[in-house]
Amino acid sequence: LTLNKMIKYTGFVGLAIFLMLTISLSTSILTSKERIEKDFIPMVTYKDINKYSLNKNIVVLLLDCVDSKLFVERMNGDADFKDMLKDFTYYPDTMSGHPMTDESIPLILTGKYYKNDGPLVEWSTNAYKESYLFDLMEKNGYELDIYEQDILYNDKSATRISNIYDYNQSKSLISKIKFWKQELKYILFRYLPSYLKRFSKIDEMHFSALYLDNKSANSDKRFFDLRNVSTLEVMKNSKLEKTNKNIFKFIHVQGAHTPWRDGKDFKSVINGTYENGLDSALTFTKGYLEFLKQNNLYDSMTIVIMADHGFKLEESQGGRQNPILFIKSINDKQDKMIVSDKPVSFVDFNDLYKDLVDGKKTKEIFASIPNSRTRYYISYYNSKKKDIMTEYATKGKAWETDKLYKTGNEYKKNW
């Protein structure tokens, strides 16, 4: 086999692979029932992560998958963490609206439940466009900083968020070498003989911005990485910037979500457990609060620490409906953490945002919530069976899974 023939045959093989990939992609696009026109692809960066106002700052720190009772037990059982939230008010009876992140985040940021109303990306994009929170902050002169690694907001209006770029604006942030490494994994897996497919490393294939990042030293030119250790490192190594404009920050980090690869002090663990995840979340929280204190920001800030949902190994309707919620308003100083018995629901958050913008103290927020109420929770049977969503309600405490009952409302996928 001569060199010229080898080059010729290699070209034919490459062309054939290209055509097969093109046909496969076209077929997937045309047959998908959940496709959405992606004229705009939001790319979330660390831009303005250390930008704070000289006037008003509201920060919502969301720790993913943190169960309320388990978090507080872990915090109180460790002397290194025990008093770190003493200036906060704790709301143990907080109920999420969904058991999964994809539906919970839009609910928190828009006040709207997802009820199988249509493809999730399409529905959430419309919900974000009409977000009460975003409008409220803009009308009150707040800059919007939303650090949400996979935000489902595919519309040009997403650039109202300061740290979001269009894909076309952020191409320079993508490493071409990293991109083609991921592409090669797919090609090898698809076209290698079955006995060689194990060499494709298909289980390590990722096309998210995180895996394609150039990892610039400039945080404005890095894609947001929700891992606890990564985000805290970027914060500590980035220059602090202060502005006269009010700032609203929503920062969604890994919290206690799988994989549990690090624990307390971000030390690497093997065969990690949920307890290790909680330790990592506690380490991040303590590190972030210390960072604020060291830069004289803590006292003059309103801080909300929360989760998108609780935790349970089984993905049944209950057990994930009780996330953490802690709130500290401006200049709150206490000897110990206050505990409120208010039965809070995520649907109360638009009122919470309004109270925080109005400068209300912690003891004044949630004032309109009655001491006894019915709260709702919309769940899939599990994360892999999403054709039917079932509505549950409870008149009990958020952690009392046995008191959840079906309302009779089911939301079926009919699109």
Phi, then psi, of 90 in degrees rounded to 5: -105, 135
3 state DSSP class of 251? strand
CA distance 281 to 79: 15
Q: Which residues pair with 110 in a beta bridge?
A: none
Tokens of 297: 């920001």
Burial of 164 (0-12, 13-18, 19+ CB in 10 A): buried
> What is the residue type of 109?
L
Q: pLDDT tens digit string along 297-329? A: 999 999 999 999 999 865 444 689 999 999 999
Rg (CA), the chain: 23
Rounded to a whole number of angstroms, the distance between the first and last alpha carbons of the chain is 55
pLDDT of residue 406: 95
Peptide bond into 42 cis (omega under 30): no
Q: What is the mean pLDDT of the chain?
A: 87
Q: Which residues of 243-261 are buried (b: 16+ CB within 10 A; e: fewer)?
A: eeebbbbbbbbbbbbeebb
pLDDT mean by block of 10 residues, the chain; 415 residues: 60 63 58 54 92 97 97 97 97 97 97 96 97 98 96 95 79 59 67 70 56 62 90 94 97 97 96 97 98 96 98 68 97 95 98 97 95 94 77 97 95 90
pLDDT in tens, 34-86: 444 456 888 899 999 999 999 999 999 999 999 999 999 999 999 999 999 99
- Residue 96 confidence (pLDDT): 98
Q: What is the pLDDT of residues 215-244, one digit of tens each?
A: 656 667 788 999 999 999 999 999 999 999
Give me the pLDDT at residue 26, please: 59
Can you give the pLDDT at residue 316? 47
DSSP string, 91-145: -SSEE-S-SSHHHHHHHHHHS----S-S-HHHHHHHHHHT-HHHHHHHHTTEEEE
Task: Find out whether 65 and 319 touch, Cβ atoms under 8 Å.
Answer: no
Residue 155 zone, left/alpha/beta (φ > 0; ψ -120 to 50; rest): beta
Residue 219's nearest CA partner among 162, 142, 261, 166 is 162
Tell me the C-alpha distance between 82 and 279, whole Å.
12
Q: Which amino acid is at 78?
A: D
The pLDDT assigned to 37 comes to: 45
Amino acid identity, position 101: T
Q: What is the pLDDT of residue 386?
A: 77
Phi/psi at 58 (nearest 5 deg)?
Answer: -120, 120
- CA-nearest of 329, 382, 301 to 88 is 329
The predicted structure's pLDDT at residue 415: 85
